[in-house]
Amino acid sequence: MATNRDDDAFDALIAEARADRPGPDLLARVLADAAEVQAAQTKPRVVVPTRRLWLAGALGAIGGWGAASGIVAAGVMGLAVGFYAPDEIDLWLGGDTLSFGETSYAITPDLGELWTEGDDV
């Protein structure tokens, strides 16, 4: 049966074990490991710039693929309406349009006039 003195002896031995310490050399080794790991972990990462295609840049400027598809759809729709119903568009806009049925507006001098000057070609 354990006596009080046995308990005291046991407690003293445990207290001695609690005070046990490693040698200073071990601390130096552990700190060297820590410095090595820390240097590797905190090394600045080299960011390699990726080449972006010009199309990606253009898409980004207008708002991405969603915006691009909207613009294309609107263009196709306008072309279709102008092609299949030019007279109605002309009517809505008070005749101020150019359709395939008209020859042209006289924005530039008629080439024919350059060729025929004074009835001479």
Partner 1 sequence: MVQGDAELGALEDGALMVLFANGDPGAARVLSERLLPRAFRHAARVLGDRSEAEDVAQEAMLRLWRAAPDWRTDGAAKPSTWLHKVVANLTIDRLRRSGRSVELGDDDFADDAPGAEARLMQAGRLDALDAALATLPDRQRQAVVLRHIEDLSNPEIAEVLGVGVEAVESLTARGKRALKAALSGQKEALGYGDE
Residues near partner 1 (CB under 8 A) are 2, 5-6, 9-10, 12-14, 16-18, 20-23, 26-27, 29-31, 33-35, 37-38, 41-42
Pick between residue 41 and residue 108 the one whose CB is nearest to partner 1. Answer: 41
In degrees, rounded to 5, the angle at the alpha carbon of residue 32 between the alpha carbons of residues 28 and 33 is: 120
Pick between residue 25 and residue 117 the one whose CB is nearest to partner 1. Answer: 25
Pick between residue 34 and residue 62 the one whose CB is nearest to partner 1. Answer: 34
Task: Give just the sign of the alpha carbon dihedral 36, 37, 38, 39.
Answer: positive
Total Cβ atoms within 10 A of residue 91: 11
Contact assessment for residue 34 and residue 40, using Cβ atoms and an 8 Å cutoff: no
CB 48 → partner 1: shortest distance, Å?
Answer: 22
CB 35 → partner 1: shortest distance, Å?
Answer: 7
Pick between residue 46 and residue 106 the one whose CB is nearest to partner 1. Answer: 46
CB 46 → partner 1: shortest distance, Å?
Answer: 17
Residue 117 pairs with which residues in a beta bridge? 120
Angle between helix 65-84 and 54-62 (nearest 10):
80
